[in-house]
């Protein structure tokens, strides 16, 4: 659901929380100081909160649809609630779109929407934590969409209902503001209750989760910033004061904290997925016994390498390598010793390649194939002899052979720059050269040069 918390994560979160605390403590003595009325500030603030809360809700929703964890849907609902609420508050705020606000609201509408926002958001987070305790397991797939609609759609409907009450119910709701002054709010049960709800939710989150996951840790930071927003607003006592402006900035910080963490988690998981995909691709391209590339990789990479060589008018050589008398080796010494022999020969072939573009793959059974891009015929023949010698130096005992140790036969074929050739044809040439080397007595290198073949006998070490 979320990444585990490391020491570095805690240090970063505590640093942000310490910064928030310092800003709040520095602002409280001057919170009531009147500041200029900046007309563009409120729309910018509201759009910032609306966007960040909406994006957070969307990312939590997408995680819920993948993991089917109801906590994520409930938390997405809490952020969707705030996003809708702050958008409606912007519409009705006096002096933004009209002197008294839109939608026919009265003087108390905007402040009551603020109260519903700062009380409802932590309550919905509290409810999300209860949902997780009650439903810790992923939901059945058939119930996922319905549960998601209830857990997200419910808070959105609640936001619309409460904002409608704030707009239309001025006659029934207590007064919280006189002009621009908040004295009534600061000393009313509503203001004190909002602060208590925020503090209680933060304490409940810490006690029940111990902030073990990254999401829990930064959700606590967001609640702490929201609590600072409430405290500074209550102390400021008026709109467009120092405290009022700082409190709005605290709201932006509270709304963007979890969003930043979710984006970081997504980028981290993307990096992990990319690395896992690379490891998986490497795994499926490797032979399970020898660790070198397998035939699947060869059949994908070899035609592409040859096509590139033909297009650029470069040579490409291919070597077919076969362990001599391998069936008799298995029958005499056993398959376990045969596997050890295959691993040793594959390692010797791989270690003999020096260029990054060259590669060796297990073609099947005791056969290997070596692809050498940008390699002329003579160079390929010399390299084939080096590979032959490298296997001989292993001195893997094979007492039933003339040499007394394991040897290989190698067929060499080269695609010339001035004569483009198909992949299957070049491979057939290398196979024919290998066949001729074995037919001539094994333990040697044969290079395809058309008919007849050139044979290179190599004495075993």
The yes-or-no verdict on residue 182 having pLDDT over 80 is no
Within-domain flag for 287: no
The yes-or-no verdict on residue 88 having pLDDT over 80 is yes
Q: What domain range includes position 42? A: 7-281
The pLDDT, as a whole number, for residue 427 is 95
Same domain assignment for residues 325 and 210: no
Same domain assignment for residues 354 and 247: no
Angle at 156 between CA 155 and CA 159, to 5 degrees: 85
Q: pLDDT for 301-329, tens place per residue?
A: 999 999 999 999 999 999 999 999 999 99
Last residue of a domain, one of 246, 281, 316: 281
Q: Which two tokens stand for residue 21?
A: 């605390």
Residue 450: pLDDT band (50, 70, 90) is low
How many structural domains comprise the chain? 2
Last residue of a domain, one of 257, 281, 305: 281
The pLDDT, as a whole number, for residue 247 is 93
Q: Which two tokens stand for residue 368?
A: 């290997």
Residue 267: pLDDT band (50, 70, 90) is confident
The pLDDT, as a whole number, for residue 95 is 85
The pLDDT, as a whole number, for residue 293 is 95
Within-domain flag for 140: yes
Same domain assignment for residues 104 and 218: yes
Within-domain flag for 87: yes
Within-domain flag for 34: yes
Using the Cα atoms of residue 229, residue 231, residue 234 and residue 235 in order, give the sign of their dihedral.
negative
Within-domain flag for 409: yes
Within-domain flag for 327: yes
The yes-or-no verdict on residue 412 having pLDDT over 90 is yes
Contact (Cβ atoms closer than 8 angstroms) between residue 404 and residue 417: no
Residue 53: pLDDT band (50, 70, 90) is very high
Q: Which whole number is the average pLDDT over 158-181?
A: 87
Percent of the chain whose pLDDT exceeds 90: 74
Same domain assignment for residues 217 and 347: no
The yes-or-no verdict on residue 453 having pLDDT over 50 is no
Last residue of a domain, one of 281, 311, 346: 281
Same domain assignment for residues 262 and 344: no
The yes-or-no verdict on residue 336 having pLDDT over 90 is yes
> Could you tell me the CATH number of the domain that includes residue 409?
3.30.70.270
Q: pLDDT for 215-235, tens place per residue?
A: 999 999 999 999 999 999 999
Residue 176: pLDDT band (50, 70, 90) is confident
Same domain assignment for residues 206 and 328: no
Residue in this structure with the two tokens 């003087």, named with its chain if needed = 107
The yes-or-no verdict on residue 4 having pLDDT over 90 is no
Same domain assignment for residues 274 and 328: no
Q: Which whole number is the average pLDDT over 242-266?
A: 91
Same domain assignment for residues 299 and 386: yes
The yes-or-no verdict on residue 369 having pLDDT over 60 is yes
Higher pLDDT, 41 or 278: 41
> Could you tell me the CATH number of the domain that includes residue 255?
1.20.1070
Same domain assignment for residues 50 and 101: yes
Within-domain flag for 290: no
Within-domain flag for 182: yes
How distant, in Å, are the alpha carbons of 77, 101, 241, 448 from that of 40?
29, 15, 15, 81
Same domain assignment for residues 272 and 311: no
Same domain assignment for residues 53 and 135: yes
Same domain assignment for residues 151 and 223: yes
């Amino acid at each position: 659901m979320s990444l585990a918390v490391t020491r570095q994560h805690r240090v970063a979160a505590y640093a942000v929380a310490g910064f928030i605390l310092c800003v709040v403590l520095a602002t409280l003595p001057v919170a009531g100081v009147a500041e200029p009325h900046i007309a563009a500030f409120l729309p910018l603030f509201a759009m910032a909160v609306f966007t960040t809360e909406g994006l957070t809700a969307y990312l939590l929703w997408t995680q819920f649809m993948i993991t089917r964890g109801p906590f994520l849907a409930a938390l997405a609902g809490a952020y969707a609630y705030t996003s809708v609420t702050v958008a409606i508050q912007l519409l009705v705020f006096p002096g933004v779109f009209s002197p008294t606000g839109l939608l026919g609201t009265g003087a108390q509408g905007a402040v009551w929407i603020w109260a519903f926002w700062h009380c409802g958001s932590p309550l919905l987070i509290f409810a999300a934590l209860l949902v997780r305790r009650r439903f810790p397991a992923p939901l059945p797939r058939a119930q996922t969409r319905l549960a998601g609609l209830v857990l997200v759609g419910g808070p959105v409907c609640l936001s619309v209902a409460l904002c409608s009450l704030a707009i239309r119910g001025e006659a029934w709701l207590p007064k919280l503001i006189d002009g621009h002054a908040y004295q009534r709010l600061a000393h009313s049960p509503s203001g004190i209750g909002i602060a208590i709800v925020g503090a209680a939710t933060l304490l409940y989150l810490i006690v029940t989760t111990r902030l073990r996951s990254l999401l829990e840790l930064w959700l606590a930071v967001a609640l702490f910033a929201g609590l600072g927003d409430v405290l500074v607003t209550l102390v400021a006592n008026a709109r467009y004061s120092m405290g009022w402006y700082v409190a709005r900035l605290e709201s932006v910080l509270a709304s963007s904290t979890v969003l930043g963490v979710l984006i970081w988690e997504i980028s981290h998981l993307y990096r992990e997925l990319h690395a896992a995909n690379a490891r998986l691709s490497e795994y499926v391209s490797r032979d399970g016994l020898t660790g070198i590339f397998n035939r699947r990789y060869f059949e994908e990479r070899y035609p592409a390498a040859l096509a590139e060589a033909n297009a650029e008018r470069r040579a490409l050589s291919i070597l077919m390598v076969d362990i001599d008398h391998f069936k008799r080796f298995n029958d005499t010494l056993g398959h376990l010793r045969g596997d050890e022999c295959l691993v040793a020969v594959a390692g010797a072939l791989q270690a003999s390649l020096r260029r990054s573009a060259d590669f060796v793959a297990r073609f099947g059974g005791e056969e290997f194939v070596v692809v050498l891009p940008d390699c002329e015929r003579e160079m390929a023949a010399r390299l084939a002899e080096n590979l032959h010698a490298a296997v001989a130096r292993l001195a893997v005992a094979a007492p039933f052979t003339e040499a007394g140790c394991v040897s290989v036969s190698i067929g060499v074929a080269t695609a010339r720059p001035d004569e483009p050739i198909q992949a299957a044809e070049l491979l057939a040439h290398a196979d024919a050269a290998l066949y001729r080397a074995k037919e001539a007595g094994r333990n040697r290198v044969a290079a395809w040069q058309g008919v007849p073949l050139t044979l290179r006998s190599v004495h075993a070490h």
